[in-house]
Amino acid sequence: DQQVKQNSPSLSVQEGRISILNCDYTNSMFDYFLWYKKYPAEGPTFLISISSIKDKNEDGRFTVFLNKSAKHLSLHIVPSQPGDSAVYFCAAFGGSQGNLIFGKGTKLSVKP
């Protein structure tokens, strides 16, 4: 059973607009969440994280929101740029697990 779910396999956005990528999780023991970005033929690269004691973390154009009661987090990219086109993975740490659990990813396409 998937503990981290990204229900949208793809998302297309116009350059300059906001991109919103969503992620749901089932394990209430998760306490640290991360977003990774992946280009083809490269490994995932860390983008931004949030601890469960916060509900928002912002870094430049990237903001992650956490709603613990809904077990939901989202990544906002604004303004979106063509170079943001990549696969974005949501991941979570916590509970008895020392490893990071990943979602299946959302492929973002930002059109000029």
**Shortest separation between residue 80's beta carbon and another protein, angstroms:** 22
Residues of the shown chain interacting with another protein in the complex, contacts defined by CB under 8 A: 4, 6, 32, 34, 36, 41-46, 49, 89, 93, 97-105
Least Å distance between CB 71 and another protein?
A: 18
- Number of Cβ within a 10 Å radius of residue 12: 11
Q: Which is nearer to another protein, 5 or 71 (CB)?
A: 5
Q: In what order do the strands lie in the sheet with 56-59?
A: 4-5, 19-25, 72-77, 62-67, 56-59
Pairing of strands 62-67, 4-5: unpaired
Least Cβ distance, residue 81 to another protein (angstroms): 23
Structure tokens at 106: 């959302």
* Nearer residue to another protein within complex by CB, 10 or 67: 10
Cβ(89)–Cβ(103) below 8 Å: yes
14 or 45: CB nearest another protein: 45
